[in-house]
Amino acid sequence: MISNPTSGPSSSEGHGIGPWGLSLSGVGIALPEKILANSDLTAWMDTSDEWIRERTGIAERRIGGSTSGLATEAARQAIEDADVPVDSIEQVILATTSPDHICPGTAPAVARELGLQCGAFDVQAACSGWVYGLVVANGLLLQGMNRVLVIGAESLDRITDYHDRGTGILFGNGAGAAIVDRDETGAGRLLSWDMGSNGNYVHILYAEHGDVLKMDGREVFRQAVTVMQTSATNSLKRAGLTVDDIDLIIPHQANIRIVEAAWKKLGFSMEKTEMVLEHTGNTSAASIPLALQSALDKGRIQPGTNVLFLGFGAGMTWASAIVRWA
């Protein structure tokens, strides 16, 4: 059964989708070597390590590298992890808000580096982008594809002013990638998903051409808590699951206090939550796959584990997806 009704002017939803399952059969990440610690920032702005840790949960972030370079590195690791031939990939989806160029998209360059000439396009849904990409990948599998590469990659240092204490404390670079395979057994599955946007909030987080990110931090905070709550609730409802049925939550890593505030309303626990924010900062579209790799490294995901991915970002956009691990 394919179900894709719309419940409002800017909301799309899904539940119980498709005759086949889905399996994230390989994951990889890339982080540039150069660390920008909170203490480094104090040379350029009136802030402190203590303030940044307390108000955001961030201790350091990475800078350097390019979006295509980091994306390619993460993709290569994911391919190795899945142990599949590169040329079996039928589509490259790259979620990024810091593409190498305004035009063309960055995905074709990543495909080139991997030696591929398959379809390749960028998703620009800011920090929700990787979850959007995962849902789109599931759609392509339903159309008959067998294997899609979904990457989230950012070089946010190119659009971040590290002298501005409102934004410079938050953002960093990184990439994460997953090989998304059709699972004929149906054991692994995208149980439900939810995607939404509210263009009335474009002005609270944006970057003009050639300029850096501008943000109304307090308003982003408020909206983020609300949309995380709404989106997680929608996905749970569509999957017919309760909070207790979710084994692991992988939220967008923007600010630990946003996650804590949303969890208080949702009834989720931090124990069930994977966080990498402290050592990565906010890496936008890369943050969820970076945390996914961390959860896998810790053995937190096993066959049958119900994982909730939950993203939000500029736009505003939001997206959630519940995956039963293959």
Q: Which residues are marked as active site? A: 127, 252, 282
Segment contacting ligand COA (CB under 6 A): 17-25, 78-86, 142-150, 164-172?
Answer: 164-172
> CB under 8 Å to 178, separation ≥6 — which residues?
24, 26, 27, 78, 134, 149, 150, 151, 289, 292
**CA atoms in the 13 A half-sphere facing the CB of 71:** 34
Segment contacting ligand COA (CB under 6 A): 48-56, 140-148, 187-195, 237-245?
Answer: 48-56
Q: Using CB under 6 A, pick the residue from 165, 189, 238, 324 that binds ligand COA.
A: 165
Contact present, 125 and 315 (Cβ < 8 Å): yes
Rounded to 5°, angle at Cα 299 from 312 and 295: 15
Smallest distance from the beta carbon of 301 to ligand COA, in angstroms?
Answer: 24
Rounded to 5°, angle at Cα 280 from 231 and 99: 75
Contact present, 188 and 324 (Cβ < 8 Å): yes
What is the per-residue DSSP string for 68-126? HHHHHHHHHHHHHHHT--GGG--EEEEE-SS-S-SSS-SHHHHHHHHT--SEEEEE--G
Please state, in angstroms and rounded to a whole number, the distance separating the CA atoms of residues 107 and 32: 19
Q: Using CB under 6 A, pick the residue from 127, 246, 266, 295 that binds ligand COA.
A: 127
**Which one, 72 or 97, has the nearer CB to ligand COA?**
97
**Which one, 191 or 215, has the nearer CB to ligand COA?**
215
The answer to whether 186 contacts ligand COA (rule: CB under 6 A) is: no
Q: Using CB under 6 A, pick the residue from 74, 220, 225, 295 that binds ligand COA.
A: 220
Q: Measured in whole angstroms, how far is the alpha carbon of residue 27 from the centre of its chain? A: 13
The answer to whether 38 contacts ligand COA (rule: CB under 6 A) is: no
Smallest distance from the beta carbon of 115 to ligand COA, in angstroms?
Answer: 33
**Which one, 191 or 225, has the nearer CB to ligand COA?**
225
**Which one, 145 or 254, has the nearer CB to ligand COA?**
254
Please state, in angstroms and rounded to a whole number, the distance separating the CA atoms of residues 111 and 72: 8
Please state, in angstroms and rounded to a whole number, the distance separating the CA atoms of residues 63 and 71: 14
The answer to whether 197 contacts ligand COA (rule: CB under 6 A) is: no
**Which one, 78 or 225, has the nearer CB to ligand COA?**
225
Number of residues engaging ligand COA in binding (CB under 6 A) = 21
Smallest distance from the beta carbon of 244 to ligand COA, in angstroms?
Answer: 28
The answer to whether 227 contacts ligand COA (rule: CB under 6 A) is: no
Q: Name residue 291's amino acid.
A: A
The answer to whether 163 contacts ligand COA (rule: CB under 6 A) is: no
Segment 94-113, which members bind ligand COA (CB under 6 A)? Answer: none
Per-residue mark of binding to ligand COA, 237-276 (x: CB under 6 A): -----------------xx--x------------------
Supply the DSSP symbol for 282.
B
Please state, in angstroms and rounded to a whole number, the distance separating the CA atoms of residues 105 and 99: 7
Segment contacting ligand COA (CB under 6 A): 72-80, 82-90, 94-102, 214-222?
Answer: 214-222
Please state, in angstroms and rounded to a whole number, the distance separating the CA atoms of residues 178 and 141: 14
Smallest distance from the beta carbon of 237 to ligand COA, in angstroms?
Answer: 24
Chain residues in the site for ligand COA (CB under 6 A):
47, 51, 55-56, 127, 165-166, 169-170, 205, 215, 217-218, 220-221, 224, 254-255, 258, 282, 313
